[in-house]
Amino acid sequence: MILVRRLLGEVLRAERLRQGRTLRDVSASARVSRGYISEIERGQKEASSECLAAICSALAVPLSSVMREVSGQLERVEHTSSVASLPTPARVDADVTNVAA
């Protein structure tokens, strides 16, 4: 099972790295501890909406864009998982008795 917090952390980290920014830089801008942002990025902590808003503001990216990316990734994971785990048809025995009243 995929954790939304892990996907969220991956999206935030990818955006930070895309911008060439360090945890220290984003931490100072967001006024959130570097260790906490690191834990969020690794999917170890669930951030509050206020904390996410601060991090997104520091990254100059709308929270809605981040959530849209997380949603898209979650949809892809769910689709892949559901296709891989489709049930196989149950075996029907050939000697089914036809009961007529």
pLDDT (tens digit per residue) in 61-86: 999 999 999 999 999 988 888 765 54
User: Cα–Cα distances in Å, from 80 out to 11, 19, 83, 100?
Assistant: 19, 30, 5, 45
Question: In this structure, what DSSP letter does residue 1 have?
Answer: -
Question: Please, are residues 77 and 2 in contact by the beta-carbon 8 Å criterion?
Answer: yes
Measured over the CA atoms of residue 57, residue 46, residue 6 and residue 67, the dihedral's sign is: negative
Task: State pLDDT tens for residues 38-67.
Answer: 999 999 999 999 999 999 999 999 999 999
- Per-residue confidence (pLDDT) for residue 85, from 0 to 100: 55
Q: CB-hemisphere CA count at 13 Å for 38?
A: 7
DSSP H helical ranges for 31-101: 34-41, 49-59, 63-84
Position 48 scores a pLDDT of 95
| Reported pTM | 0.77
pLDDT of 98 strictly over 90: no
Determine whether domain 4-84 maps to CATH 1.10.260.40. yes
Closest C-alpha to 15, from 81, 65, 54: 65
Percent pLDDT > 90 in the chain is 72
